[in-house]
Amino acid sequence: MLAFSTIGLGPLTQAAPAPTPPPAIVRQVDHLLLSSPEAGELFSLLTDIFQLPVAWPLSDYGRFGSGGVALGNVNLEILRAAGPDHNASSHRFVGLALEPAPLPTSLRELERRNLPHGPAIPFRSRELSRLFATLWTTVALPDVSHDLLEVFLCDYAHDVTARRQRLQAQLRASDGGPLTIHSVREIVIGAKDVNGMKARWQKLLEPRRPSSDGAWPLGDGPALRVVEAETDAIRAVVINVSSLKAAGDFLRQHDLLGTELPTSMTVASRRFPGFELTLVASTPAAP
């Protein structure tokens, strides 16, 4: 039986169902890559002095050396590149690895959205006990990459969530180490064409939208923010700490304090020019 309006003007129209949002390509930021010509010394600073949990030990992978430390909700990879093209005088953030959600879905969505991307490239083990086993798979994302920053999907063969939770528990058990680190709040990316870069990130990060302050929240990991800058590069890694005073006292004692403001400070070292982290007070958790 047809339903009619109370004023006799014909059949009632039913509201069209809301469109289903597209599947996400990115779950969260998995890790940051920082290139250093003194990877061993910087890794020791982070693990011995700052007492951050080791996500994976500093090891030689043939074409490069790599070690990871945990910053709570994301890892920081210290990268020692090999070969004549490596710049032996700079310490800088060079990569942003995004966790797919999951990789087969992400690849289908990249195709559906006509987003340029590289092939899925597996990295295989060289250890005799698991020779040729795939350790991780990467997919380049050229639309949001540039000369000073490579952005890519990184799909690990192990349980990423379980490892992240284990490392978070280690960090909590030590109260975040002497810097009282809790988590990474956001990663700030500079762009010369800020509107164009924001549009490209939005296309990749759909169905997520920026929050009212302009940053894209990404799962349990840090948010991403794009700001206008003279160069396309990571401008800041903003880290939540439980006590700015305790962190400042420790950095001052070890001559590692950079800029100090009422609500933030930077970790900086003359030994590692270009390596810098921004510390801010943790935002209290919502009840």
Mean pLDDT of 191-201: 97
Q: Which fold has domain 26-281?
A: 2,3-Dihydroxybiphenyl 1,2-Dioxygenase; domain 1 (3.10.180)
Give ∠ CA 146-149-153 in degrees, rounded to 5.
Answer: 100
Mean pLDDT of 160-179: 96
42: three-class secondary structure by DSSP? helix
What pLDDT is stored for residue 150 in this prediction? 97
- Per-residue pLDDT at 287 exceeds 50: no
What pLDDT is stored for residue 26 in this prediction? 97
More confident residue, 5 or 211: 211
pLDDT digits (tens, 9 = 90+) for 86-133: 454 578 999 999 999 899 999 999 999 999 999 999 988 766 566 678
More confident residue, 157 or 18: 157
Please report, rounded to a whole number, the percentage of residues in the chain having pLDDT higher than 90. Answer: 76
Read off the DSSP letter of residue 66: E
Contact 52, 43 (CB under 8 A): no
What pLDDT is stored for residue 17 in this prediction? 67
State pTM to two decimals: 0.88
What residues does each domain of the chain span? 26-281
Mean pLDDT of 187-191: 97
194: three-class secondary structure by DSSP? helix
